[in-house]
Chains A and B, each alone.
Chain A
């Protein structure tokens, strides 16, 4: 069965510092991978996705993620964060077949301090 693990429930960081949010997944078949962001009192917004090809994918708001098949990871990074990046971030995975469902991790709250 598929599963997604986000190891950190909360990541505090100072403004303009780099950040990495970790995501590991488990699946017996090939997968699509996604990162979503949720700002306070809002729904989820797609940040970026990995489908195939280059393992480094770039998304909105300066975020990027790297797919590592051998380590079954899809960590999210940003070289310099802003206060406005404070939000909850969700990693998600779906199998490359007819599955109807995305499987979500439990989320990581990024808290950017001035």
Chain B
């Protein structure tokens, strides 16, 4: 089974801190994604990457950046954390574009609280 591993399940950071959320997948998937999940809003796409060193903005990229130096690792960076970035963050990967016939494989999520 494909595994997507997010390094932290829970994280508490202070306003203004630079925050790194790490995601690693072990099945050589081309595409990786970062979503945030908030009650009543579902999943919203922050950034995605379809190849090493490639990135594309999703629907809500403001306040975030990403890094993909290796195929298996996709990092989400909060340049200066703010309280409105308190959320559940989900990483996902897929072999084909749009999930193709396989859909996405998700990590367990990181619940970030910014105080």
Contact = CB atoms under 8 A, between A and B. Distances in A.
B104 A102 contact: yes
Given A101-B48, A104-B43, A105-B42, A94 B98 contact: yes
Given A9-B40, A44-B90, A90-B42, A102 B99 contact: yes
Interface size band for B: 20 to 34
B48 A100 contact: yes
Contacts of B104: 44, 46, 102
Interface in B33-58: 33, 40-43, 45, 48, 50, 56, 58
B85 interface: no
B42 A99 contact: no
A98 interface: yes
Nearest to B10: A41
A103 to B, nearest CB: 9
A42 B98 contact: no
Given A44-B90, A45-B106, A107 B42 contact: yes
Contacts of B99: 32, 34, 92, 94, 102
B108 interface: yes
Contacts of A105: 42
B103 A49 contact: yes
A95 B105 CA distance: 18
Interface of B: 4, 9, 31, 33, 40-43, 45, 48, 50, 56, 58, 90, 92, 97-101, 103-109, 111
27 contacts: A32-B99, A34-B99, A34-B103, A41-B109, A41-B111, A42-B108, A42-B109, A43-B4, A43-B90, A43-B108, A43-B109, A44-B104, A45-B106, A49-B101, A49-B103, A51-B101, A90-B42, A94-B98, A95-B98, A100-B97, A101-B33, A101-B45, A101-B98, A102-B98, A104-B43, A106-B40, A106-B41
Given A34-B103, A49-B101, 5 more contacts: A36-B103, A44-B104, A46-B104, A94-B100, A106-B41
